[in-house]
Structures are given as C-alpha cells and as structure tokens.
Chains A and B, each alone.
Chain A
Amino acid sequence: MTTMISKSSKCSRIMSRKALDYDQINENVKKAQYAVRGELYLRASELQKEGKKIIFTNVGNPHALGQKPLTFPRQVVALCQAPFLLDDPNVGLIFPADAIAKAKQYLSYTSGGLGAYSDSRGLPGIRKEVAEFIGRRDGYPSDPELIYLTDGASKGVMQILQTVIRGNGDGILVPVPQYPLYSAAISLFGGSLVPYYLEETANWGLDINNLRQSVAEARFKGITVRAMVIINPGNPTGQCLSIDNLKEILRFCYQENLVLLGDEVYQQNVYQDERPFISSRKVLLDMGPPISKELQLVSFHTVSKGFLGECGQRGGYFEMTNIPPESVDEIYKVASISLSPNVPGQIFMGCMVSPPQPGDISYEQFLRESKGILESLRKRAHMMTDGFNSCKNVVCNFTEGAMYSFPQIKLPPKAMEAAKQAGKVPDVYYCLKLLEATGISTVPGSGFGQKEGVFHLRTTILPAEEDMPAIMDSFKKFNDAFMDQYEDQRGYSRM
C-alpha cells in the first residue's frame, strides 16, 4: 500500500492520523454532556434487557408511561395522512364531522398535503393560528412572520444559540439547575455557560442579586454575556415565575443588553393557583416603551408537554420579539438549510393552539380528556412531593409546574465515601443504587447542575396515578434503608 508523500511536512505529520480517530473529532462535541439520556438511562436499558422491570422516570415522556393522546388531534392528523378517506362516503362512521372539517382546512393550508416540504418557517396558515393563540393568551397581537415552526422546541433553541454564540468569549446566562439541553448546546457551539443559581430555600426563586453577581464575575473573566435563559415553569425545578420576578428579569436584560430566551414549554403545566403562567412577552409589552419596543426576546413552545404530551411528533415553535429584520433574515436562512419542519408536527401544533371550542361536536370529549390529564398531574405533583418529604434525609420543594420532582438528598459522609470508592459522583452513586434496588430510573442532579456539595435527583411525575403509591413506597423503603446503612453515628455534622 503506497502512501502519498506530501511536500508539506505539516501535512505529512497529520496524514498518519485518521479523521475519525477519537482524538481527531471536534472537542466541543466531546465536551457536551446530556445526562437525561446518559449513564443512568443506559444502565436502566441494560437492566431492562436482562429482564428487570424498569420504571423510566428520567424523561418527560407522558405517552411512554401510559398517558393517552387526545383524540381530536389524532383524528385530524390521520385524515390528513390519508386524504383518500375524505372521499369515502363512510368516513363519517369513524370520524366526527369537526375532525373531518379541520383536516380539510389544514390540507388546504398545504401545497400537496403532508408529503410536501412547507415554507422553511412552517405553513403560513398554522403560523397564523399560533399568532392568534398568542394574541388571545396575552392580549397583544402577534406577527405570524416572526413565528417559526421547528422540529421540536429543542431544534429552535439550538438554532438561536448557534446564531448568538460567536466564540468562547460569548457567555449565555443559564439557571442552575437547568435542563441540560442548554449546557450541551452552549458547549457544542463553543460558547461559555454563565450560571445563575436558583434559591432552593426560597422555592427555587430567582434572586436578581445572584444574576448581577454572575454577570459581573463573567465580565471580569473577559466574557461578553449575550443572552439569558429562563425556563418558566422551571425544569427540573418546576417553579413558576411571578410577574414581579419577570419584570425584574426583563429590566435586567434591558440594562445589560441581553437577549432573553424564554423557554415556556411547560406553560400549560401549572399545579398551583397563586402564580398562574404569564408569558414573558405579555409582561414585556405591559411594561410599555422604551423597553417593550427594544428588549430582544425569543419565546419557545412545544406540542410535547402540556396535556397533549406529543413528544414523538417533534412539533415546536419560537416567536421573535424586537429582533431586527436583518437578523430575522439570517435565522430564516439557516432554517432553510433544513428545508422545512415536519408537516404532521405542524398539524399537531395547529390542533394545540386552535382546540375544539364550546359547541363543537368534539368539545366535550376534548374538555374531559384535557382536564382529566391536568387534574391528575396536579394530584401526582402533590403525591410525589409529599412522598419524598416523608423520606429520611430528603427535602423536596413542591412541583409548582412542569413535569418533574427534584428532591434534595442529604447524603451522609459514609455514602459519599462509598461513592468515591466506586469512582462515581455521589448522586450518580445513589441513583444507580436506587435503580438496581427498585427499577426506578431517575436522572442524578449533577446532570442539571446544583450548588457544590448539595445533591438531588430528578424524577418525573408521569407514572400512572394508580402506580404512584407503590412507587413512592418502593422509593421510601430503599432510601430509608440506604440512609440507615450509611448514617454516621454523629449524623452528618461533618458536612
């Protein structure tokens, strides 16, 4: 086998390494971590293959745990998939008239049905419906031209971060704990994560002084802070931001020249009544000019959460506020490289933002199904919080919103020592033991970020209501036995 001899010595040195040798791939890819499908999940999958019963509570994936899809959107999408049904005289025997009408309407939005690429920003008809939904929700009109549909909200988040991050001198403010898509994407695009800590003892509240301090520290290191992420309701923490908090945040971003990225995918998952969901955009517009006309904001939403729970459809959108037209053009350009978001996902988005109305044939069923799911989620939020709080050395804030519980596990020093021996981070060690003992697959808090020396795990509130008592029982048995096993006689005073 002959090797080409290059005239350049620089190149001949390189030629002996192959492109896909592990040390030759993009370091940013290696740096990016995404614990939600990381070590615990892989171990759980292994155990499942060996025949162990696993309860996957690692990801907000309602249908995988038995939640049923809502009937109406499924009827509409099925009819759109198979439009020949609409020509069949018997179609009315298995599909209600309003689903048939909706399917016809949505097909008319397309040029060629579900199988044609749409506009790279999404079908104009659906974007118009999203704008109308936002208008009804917030009381301010929204421009469909500034709403882009995406294959899930995650793709939109990644696209915006890629647009903002120029290099490692650019920092993005991210809450700690956070949903690790943000940390992973920032790593991937070579930016710097600037953490701001949420206050666990204040119900995961956001203290503006923490923010100021984080920004000052970052700037001192020479980082240009460009954007701030808020997740409202929070993931993994579930807290719902108050209007005052939102105002503070908006003012802060305005003063510090940051674009605000509002991850609002859990806006329909709120389990308390003191702080209902209010969108960042509404608060911003309520504040009036100049801030309402200048503060740059991108808001994200999805069909994966709420009561639809249609994760597998990959349907999402982002809405841009006060973004200059030239920047919008660049964002459009990048969207066009991927041609278009998947059209069935867009149909689900339409069904989400324009649900059946009172008087519609399918309204009663829609109301019953959606209410049923939300009421059950609220119940399960309480069951889980109370269940964790009844466990030894476990303290858990109430899940005000979203789909997760994020209890703090106060690990005794002996347990931490055992973890060290096993070569594992303490919460990973605990979660692996939990998994092996009970089949409950969680995500260790270190996957989301937490204060030094404080440990958590994230679980979802999604297991079926009737399974909850047994699951919490199983957890309590394991936890209390674990704590007894590792408890120092002096308590954990050495912590």
Chain B
Amino acid sequence: MGSDRSIPSLTADSLNPKVLKCEYAVRGEIVSLAQKLQQQLQANPGSYPFKEILYCNIGNPHSLGQQPITFFREVLALCDHPTILDKSKTQGLFSSDSIERARQILDQIPGRSTGAYSHSKGIKGLRDTIAAGIEARDGFPADPNDIFLTDGASPAIQMMMQLLIRSENDGIFCPVPQYPLYSASIALYGGTLVPYYLDEATGWGLEIRELEKQLETARQKGINVRALVVINPGNPTGQVLAEENQRDIVEFCKKEGLVLLADEVYQENIHVPEKQFHSFKKVCCSMGYGDKAIPLVSLQSVSKGYHGECGKRGGYMEVTGFSPEVMEQVYKLATLNACSNISGQILATLVMSPPKVGDESYESYLAEKDGILQSMARRAKMLEDGLNNLEGVTCNKAEGAMYLFPQIRLPNKAIKEAESRKKEPDAYYATRLLYATGIVVVPGSGFGQFPGTWHFRCTILPQEEKIPAIVSRLTEFHQKFMDEFRD
C-alpha cells in the first residue's frame, strides 16, 4: 500500500491549515516590498525619489539608532566572558558596579556559565530579583515561583494560547485594534478571535459595556470565551488605562470566569504626565483580592521601555491565580524548550533591578534613560501634530507605547482604485506612501479596525532629527494623494 507520489508531503496545500490561516502584518507584504526597494536602491541609487527606506513598521529601536543602556551591556559582556573579571585591566574598561553586579549574577548561576541550560522557569536567583523588582514597583509581594522567564514575551503568549485553546469553539477576547501576535497565535492554535472594539472617539477607551455585548454575541454563537487580552499601554493605539477602568476589567473577568492576559510590555513607555502605569497585579491586590482573585498572566519584555533590547529575546510572564495542577502543565510546556536564553534572563533581571541612587553608574544610567524617554515623548508629539494637520486625518494622542495610529479618511475614488487592485484601501495607501517617500508603515487592516475605517501604524522611533523631514515628506505625499483621488 504505497502513497500518491504526485503529492509530496510539504506542498502548500498539504500543510497544517492553521499555519495557512494565520497572518502577521508587522512583517508582512509591505515589508517584503520595502526590502525589495531597498535592494534596488542599493544597486541603483536614484532609482526612487528618496535616499533611504525608513522602517517605521516595527518597534525595533536599536535598528533606528537608539543606543543600549551602557550599564546593562557592561554586565552582559562580563557575564558572557567572566574570565576577564579577575583581570586588573578590566577595571579600566568597566564600571566597578557592573563588575560587582556581574559577579553577583554569576554566583547565582549553576556552573557560573551562561552556556548551561537553567531551570525551565529561569534561574532561581534571577527570579528572586525580578520578584523583588515587581514588589518595589507595585507595593505588593511577588512569588518567584510564579515567574517564567521566556525568549521575549511572544513565546509566553503562544504557551497560553496552546493551554487555553482546545478547538475553534474556544474564543479569546482581543482588542480591536490589536497587536497581531494575538490574532496570529489564536489562528495557529485553532481558536476563535472574539473582538472587542476600542472606542476611537474617546481616546481608544475600553468600555465594559462593549465587552459584555461582545461576550453575549460570542456565547450565542456557541463560543466558550476563555480569556481576555488587554494591552496596556496599548499597541497600536497607545492608550494608558485608568485605574478605575482596570478595576472594572478585573471584576468583569472574575464574574465571567475569564483568564486575564495582561500585555504590559510598554509599561515604561508613558509619554504624558497625566497618566501612570498600574500593573493589573497591583490592581487585583489593591482590590483586596490578593493575587488569587483571577487567573492573571502579566507580561513584561526587555524589547521595549527605554532599553529597547529586541534582539536579546528577554522577558517573563508572572502567572498568578492558577491552580497547582494547571501550573504544572504550564511548567511542562516550558520544559519542552529547556529554558530561555540565559543572557536574556540576565537582562530581564537588570531591567527589573536597574542601578539605584548611590550606585556608581546611577547618574549616567538615569541620564541615558531619561534622554531616551523624553525624546520619545517629543517625537510622539511631533508626529501626532504632523498627522493631525493632514487633510482627512485624525490621530489620537499616543499616551504610551511606541506608535501612532492615525485614521485616514480615504476618498471613494481611492477606495475603488484599491479594490480594483485587490488591496485593502489602507494597504494601497501604505504602498503608495512607500513608493513616494521610502517610509514603511503597517496598514491598519493588519491590526483590525472598526469596519469602514482606515488607519496605519507608524512608530515614533526614527531619530529625532529625522522627524521633521518625515513629517514634511508625509505631508507632501498625502496632499498629492488626496489631490489625485479627491471626490
């Protein structure tokens, strides 16, 4: 009994249909196009009306010139190559507190080597430090055993989707617009995305009424809604939740038996003085529920904040309110990959326990950190103002995170042109923008949006001195585009 030679195993139509179904626009079509243009530009400078491609599609700060925090890199370099710790010449090249910190960390690592697999939740001593950092941030204790260090926050989300999704009858509540890791993972693991719309008119507000309405609709369709994803500060929308709002969300999850997946990777990116970050764990604890009120997964990452260490793949999830049996299953999933990369674990620890007042590196650390965060706030404002000046464009303030998500009102002619090219209107706009200016943004359809509205996501990350030119090129393009398609 042989098999059909004409259909080899790995042809496109014989792959796992869930793989075929999932989409991830942040590195999707427009980025491939941009890379092609970049190659053409390199081979043939002058072939386009711009000198360089500006990648504003992805929250990747170092790729656009942001510098790493010196103290963190010192400690990482010393942990990677501890042989030099004992050399006197090292004192001249590294700050004394980074040497001290590296020694401390190496003492906590079995074998004193970053080359050994660790415990699958991450090195215990590092988790202790992170727990202490969480407590310092929130004013409520954290248990190191609840912490799972992961290769960035993304694998943690994938683990949770794997755990929660049994079939397409299982639904996961996601904000619209959302960071498409969620939609992609839900599709990959065979579940159903249950949308809840953020209200653009009220600064992307999260309304409990909307949650209740969507929950009812989903249940009537026979979907078991299992978890609620909240991204705070929001991506792509940038809003920072008010504490009262967060309390309502916790009550809602408690009432409806939902797991709360709190994506808090932008917790240190707050651009406006009137808003503050409050972790959902703190909110739960402050409501008198302790940390067992609801099953809560809180995510943090080394990729964002002021450190922006995307390439290191460091992060953690703090898992509270799960039964011991379920925790065992989460742990088991973690063991399949052995452990997350050790260097990333160390970095996550440093992010949660940076230099303190009195440390040798404190002043320079603070200057670097403040410099980056203040510049981000300025860039967010400059871009927001520039976008709001465009015809038919409104852009909510970016209270936090690293993005602007303007709404573009496209004339019917433009929409028809897009349709004739079998493209989403915002994708068409983004493509035209790319060809005219070299600026790469992600069409709003990649994040989800209220039907009939169009947006794009642009990062605030290009170097500050480039922002005026970006604004003027964007303005020029937009005017021409509107002139071309105006009704």
Contact with B212, one of A4, A120, A155, A219 (Cβ below 8 angstroms): A4
CB pair A26–B339 under 8 Å, yes or no, is no
A15 within 8 Å of B by Cβ?
yes
How many Å lie between the Cα of A106 and that of B74 in the bound state?
A: 18
Q: Determine whether the beta carbon of A63 is less than 8 Å from that of B58.
A: no
**A115 lies within 8 A of B220 (CB):** no
Bound-state Cα–Cα, A475 to B80, Å: 35
Interface string of A332-346 (1 = CB under 8 A from B): 011011111111110
**A20 and B323 in contact, given A115-B68, A296-B8, A327-B12 (Cβ under 8 angstroms):** yes
A294 touches B9 (CB 8 A): no
CB distance from A383 to the nearest CB of B (A): 22
A342 to B314 Cα, complex, angstroms:
9
Within B277-335, the residues touching A (CB, 8 Å) are 295, 303, 307-313, 322-323, 325-326, 329, 332-333, 335
B310 touches A69 (CB 8 A): no
Q: Which of B61, B62, B115, B212 contacts A311 (CB 8 A)?
A: B115
Residues of B contacting A74 in the complex (Cβ-Cβ under 8 angstroms) = 80-81, 83
Number of B residues near A (Cβ < 8 Å) is 110
Cβ of B371 within 8 Å of any chain A Cβ, yes or no, is no
Chain A's closest residue to B302 (CB) is A115
B240 interface contact, C-beta 8 A: no
B479: min CB distance to chain A, Å: 31
Q: By the criterion CB–CB under 8 Å, are A163 and B10 in contact?
A: yes
CB contacts (< 8 Å) of B166 on chain A: these are: 25-27
B4 within 8 A of A: yes
Residues of B within 8 A of A339 (CB): 27, 152, 154, 310
Who on chain A is nearest to B325 by CB? A22
The answer to whether B65 touches A112 (Cβ under 8 A) is: yes
Given the known interface contacts A164-B15, A226-B9, A296-B8, the answer about A340 and B311 at a Cβ–Cβ threshold of 8 Å is yes
Instruction: Determine if A59 and B325 form an interchain contact, defined as CB atoms under 8 angstroms apart.
Output: no
Contact between B339 and A330, CB atoms less than 8 A apart: no
**A115 to B11, Cβ gap below 8 A?**
no
- Enumerate chain A residues within 8 angstroms of B87, measured Cβ to Cβ: 94
User: How many angstroms between the C-alpha atoms of A345 and B341 in the bound complex?
Assistant: 8
* Measured CA separation A88–B94 after assembly (Å): 11
A312 contacts B by Cβ under 8 Å? yes
Cα A342 to Cα B344 in complex, Å, equals 8
Binds B, one of A29-37, A397-405, A406-414: A29-37
Chain A residues whose CB sits within 8 angstroms of the CB of B246 once the complex forms: none
- What is the bound-complex CA distance between A267 and B312, given in angstroms? 27
B163 proximal to A (CB < 8 A): yes
Cβ-defined contact, A227 with B9, below 8 A: yes
Q: Taking the nearest CB of chain A, how far is it from the CB of B127, in angstroms?
A: 14
- Complex interface: chain B residues within 8 A of A1 (CB): 255
B2 contact set on A, CB distance < 8 A: 255-257
Most buried by B among A82, A188, A224, A313: A82
CA distance A341 to B313 in the complex (A): 7
Which B residue's beta carbon lies closest to that of A68? B113
Bound complex: CA A181 to CA B117 (Å): 15
Interface size class of A (residues with CB under 8 A): 35 or more
Pick from B9, B70, B93: contact of A257, CB below 8 A: B9
CB of A245 closer than 8 Å to a CB of B: no
Given contacts A3-B255, A312-B117, contact A115 B8 (CB under 8 A): no
In the complex, number of A-B residue pairs with CB atoms less than 8 Å apart: 326
Contacts of B19 in A (CB 8 A): 162-163, 330, 333-334
Given that A7-B220, A257-B4, A326-B12 are contacting pairs, would A314 and B151 also be in contact in the complex, using a CB cutoff of 8 Å? yes
Query: Which of A6, A22, A181, A344 makes the CB contact (< 8 A) with B219?
Result: A6
The residues in B between 89 and 148 inclusive whose CB is less than 8 angstroms from any CB of A are: 89-90, 92-93, 110-111, 113-118, 120
Chain B residue nearest in CB terms to A17: B257
- Whether A333 contacts B24 by the Cβ 8 Å rule is yes
Q: Which residue of A lies closest to B98 (CB)?
A: A82
Which residues of the other chain, B, contact A333 by a CB distance below 8 angstroms?
19, 22-24
Contact A19 B259 (CB under 8 A): yes
Which of B110, B311, B337 has the largest count of A CB atoms less than 10 A from its CB?
A: B311
Q: Is A309 positioned at the interface, with any CB of B under 8 Å from its CB?
A: yes
Contact of A94 among B11, B16, B89, B308 (CB under 8 A): B89
B63: contacting residue among A62, A81, A117, CB under 8 A = A117
Q: Is A116 an interface residue (CB 8 A)?
A: yes
B15 touching A81 by the CB < 8 A rule? no
1/0 per residue B249-266: CB within 8 Å of A?
A: 000000111110000000
Inter-chain contact A257/B332, CB cutoff 8 Å: no
Residues of B within 8 A of A216 (CB): 1
- Known contacts A166-B15, A185-B336; is A81 also within 8 Å of B77 by CB? yes
Contact of B312 among A21, A65, A114 (CB under 8 A): A114
Asked whether, in the complex, the Cβ of A85 is within 8 Å of the Cβ of B93, the reply is: yes
Pairs A–B under 8 Å by Cβ, sample size 20: A24-B226, A29-B332, A59-B117, A63-B115, A63-B116, A68-B113, A79-B77, A85-B93, A115-B307, A116-B60, A116-B310, A117-B58, A117-B63, A117-B311, A163-B16, A256-B2, A312-B113, A324-B12, A330-B20, A344-B343
The 8 closest A-B pairs by CB, nearest first: A326-B12, A112-B62, A343-B311, A78-B81, A312-B342, A82-B77, A342-B313, A63-B113
